[in-house]
Homo-oligomer: A and B are copies of this chain.
Amino acid sequence: MIQMVILGAGNLAQHLYTVFRATEGLEVVQVYNRSQKALSYFNATNTTTSLKELLEADIYIIAVADDAIAAIANKLPFTDRLVVHTSGSASMHMLHKKNRRGVFYPLQTFTKGVKVDFTKIPLCLETGEKADFKILKSIADAIGSNSYKISSEQRRALHVSAVFVNNFSNHMYRIAHEISEANNVPFEILHPLIQETANKIHTLTPYMAQTGPAKRGDQKTIDDHLEKLDKDIHKEIYTLLTQSIAKTYGR
Residues of A within 8 A of B (CB): 66, 89, 107-109, 111, 114, 120-122, 124, 148, 150, 153-154, 156-177, 179-180, 182-187, 189-207, 209-215, 221, 224-225, 228-229, 233, 236-238, 240-241, 243-245, 247-248
**Is the Cβ of B171 less than 8 Å from the Cβ of A241?**
yes
**Is the Cβ of A172 less than 8 Å from the Cβ of B177?**
no
Please tell me how many copies of the chain the complex holds: 2
Residues A185 and B108 in contact in the complex (CB < 8 Å), given A180-B161, A206-B170, A207-B174: no
Residues A174 and B225 in contact in the complex (CB < 8 Å), given A153-B183, A165-B193: no
Q: Which residues of B sit under 8 angstroms from A172, Cβ to Cβ?
A: 164-165, 168-169, 172
Shortest beta-carbon distance from A213 to chain B in Å: 7
Shortest beta-carbon distance from A27 to chain B in Å: 27
Q: Which residues of B sit under 8 angstroms from A225, Cβ to Cβ?
A: 159-160, 163
Residues A237 and B241 in contact in the complex (CB < 8 Å), given A165-B176, A171-B206, A206-B177: yes
Residues A211 and B166 in contact in the complex (CB < 8 Å), given A107-B192, A171-B241, A171-B244: yes
Count chain B CB atoms within 10 A of each CB in A185, A198, A207 and give the residue with the most.
A198
**Is the Cβ of B191 less than 8 Å from the Cβ of A201?**
yes
Q: In whole angstroms, what is the CA distance A152 to B237 when docked?
A: 24
- Beyond A107-B193, A162-B193, A165-B172, list 11 extra A-B contacts (CB 8 Å): A111-B200, A150-B185, A166-B193, A166-B194, A169-B194, A170-B197, A171-B244, A173-B209, A194-B198, A233-B243, A240-B240
Residues A190 and B165 in contact in the complex (CB < 8 Å), given A157-B183, A179-B157, A211-B109: yes
**Is the Cβ of B185 less than 8 Å from the Cβ of A157?**
yes
